[in-house]
Amino acid sequence: MDDEITNKMLLEHIQAMRYSLEIDINGLRSDIKIIKSDILNIKIDINNLSDRVDEGFKEAALHRKALQEDLDATIKMQAQHQQQLKTLAA
């Protein structure tokens, strides 16, 4: 009789532990899904950031080219003005 009671108590305890583990496992599965989603969002953000950085470098190169063209034109105009001043001074 005592063995039956002990076995029944052990069975109930094991079933309770099993139920608790199932709840924990389901919670972990849910957490893993959330983490996977977060990782996917991070990958998307990294790709978007990479694209924006690439666009920024292209824009910076165009801006630098425009500035260089302006500088070259300014230097050319300054040389012309210098020549005109020499001509007027002579």
pLDDT, tens only, 17-46? 999 999 999 999 999 999 999 999 999 999
Q: What CA–CA distance (Å, rounded) separates 60 from 9?
A: 75
- Total residues found in the chain within this entry: 90
Model-level pTM?
Answer: 0.57
Answer whether residue 90 shows pLDDT above 80. Answer: no
pLDDT at 1 over 80: no
48-71 mean pLDDT:
97
* Band of pLDDT at residue 55, cut at 50, 70 and 90: very high
Q: Is residue 5 over pLDDT 90?
A: no
Q: Which of 9, 32, 8, 28 is nearest to 20 (CA)?
A: 28
Q: Is the pLDDT of residue 75 over 90?
A: yes
